[in-house]
Structure 1
Amino acid sequence: MDDRGPSASDLLAFVRRTAADAGLIASLPLDPEGRTWIRLDGPGGSEAWLIGWPPGTGTGWHDHGGSRGAFAAAAGELTEQSLAVRLPTEGWKTLELAEDVDRERRLSDGRGRAFGPHHVHEVFNASPSAHAVSVHAYYPPLPLMRRYSRSGAVLRLEEIERPEEWA
């Protein structure tokens, strides 16, 4: 784990403060079909993003490649489903999850959450009609993202994305 750079608490303070910037939030172009984003300057060399979420859109299950992070809702409401378990990062393709590892939270009105380097989750806008906007920050900047599929208790590693694929 990289102990240099901003802590998860520092990142959470940044995303909450940024989510309260009404001018910045209003500057994000919203698309009715897909997510939109603007890259921001995060604190202490972190990677940060302002993201717009049309109704019904989400990330799917993923992790952040060992980076710690935080995110906060700036407009609308987001739902986060996460796993309260540390998964191995290498050497597996399919895992069966225990029954008590699922967590769910809803974030709106500047509320946010920080997470450590082994966090696996999915985030989505469950609203049928309203956009959501959120601010995200990661340190160190994302080296990769692992994407997963989930069927009941079975989590399967589907792909590993690298930053050059996100341009």
Structure 2
Amino acid sequence: MTTVIDVPARAATGLTGCLDLDALPGRDLDQDELRALASTIARDPARWRHHLAFDDDNRVYVSLHRDSHVDIWLLCWTPENDTGFHDHDVSSGAVAVVDGTLVEHNLAVGTETIETFVDGGHVFSFGPDHIHRLTCAVSGSVSVHAYSPPLWRMGQYAVTADGRLHRHSVSYADELRPIET
């Protein structure tokens, strides 16, 4: 019997849906709306192409939009970039991979992490209870991330040598990277 593991990235779909910034409903968005918004922004490179830059030492990320209900970021990736395990506190989110391939890693107790490759042209969403780590499989990968409510803080996780999990609260403006305990 094959066990199907339910993780958000495995439910990635093509970049579909249409929700633009001028049509936002004036409230926090649900996961379907976040997928549609991230897809719309990802399919409009005129909004973000001028921000593209890649750095092996420091992941490049730019805030594209922020209001009282939604937060949108452009992220540029190389294989050396790694967010480390993190959550988004009270925010739901969506990740639209524009170009390249990202790898979502999910923590799993008693086994290796669960890895899911998400290729360009795909989007997935998750709720505020989701803990994951993102890395890049292809140099020059680009992604658009949408969060609602807007990010204020996140939890950064580290696993100690004896297997204990520790959460550290960080600002939404801090670069996410693996932390040591």
- Using structure 1 for the length normalisation, give the TM-score: 0.76
Moved runs in structure 1, 4+ residues, more than 4 A?
none
Q: What is aligned with 1:120?
A: 131
Distance 2:162 2:71 in 1: 32
CA distance in 1, matches of 2:153, 2:107: 19
Q: Give the distance between the partners of 2:115 and 2:93, measured in 1 at CA.
A: 17
- The worse-fitting range, judged by mean Cα deviation, of 116-125 and 148-157 is 148-157
1:82 is aligned to: 106
Q: 2:44 aligns with which of 21, 43, 46?
A: 21
- Please list every run of 5 or more consecutive structure 2 residues that lacks an aligned counterpart in the other structure: 1-26, 176-181
Residue number in structure 1 paired with 2:145: 136
Give the aligned partner of residue 119 of structure 2.
108
What stretches of structure 1 of length at least 5 have no aligned partner? 85-96
Q: Take 1:122 and 1:46, find their aligned partners in 2: how far apart are those partners?
A: 21
Deviations 1:52-108 (A, max 9, x none): 112321100000012111111011110001247xxxxxxxxxxxx2449x4321112
**Structure number with higher relative contact order (C-alpha < 8 Å, ≥ 6 residues apart):** 1
Distance 1:55 1:99, change over 3 A: closer
Structure 1 equivalent of residue 31 of structure 2: 8
Tell me if 1:71 matches 2:95: yes
SS of the aligned residue for 2:82 comes to coil
| Cα shift at 1:39 | 0.9
Percent identical pairs in the alignment equals: 30
The CA RMSD over aligned residues, in Å, is 2.6
Once residues 46 and 173 of structure 2 are traced to their aligned partners in structure 1, the CA distance between those partners, rounded to angstroms, is 29
Deviation at 1:152, TM superposition (A): 8.6
* TM-score normalised to structure 2 length: 0.71
Give, as a single letter, the amino acid of the residue that structure 1 aligns with 2:124.
R
CA contact (8 A) 1:79 1:104 kept: yes
Corresponding residue pairs, total: 148
Residue 53 of structure 1 corresponds to which residue in structure 2? 77
The equivalent residue for 2:60 is 36
How far does the alpha carbon of each residue in 1:17-45 deviate from its partner, in whole angstroms, 9 at most, with x for none?
21112333422231333211221226872
SS in 2 for 1:45: coil
Distance 1:27 1:20 in 2: 14
Q: How far, CA to CA, are the matches of 1:150 and 1:28 in structure 2?
A: 34
Distance 1:25 1:164, change over 3 A: closer
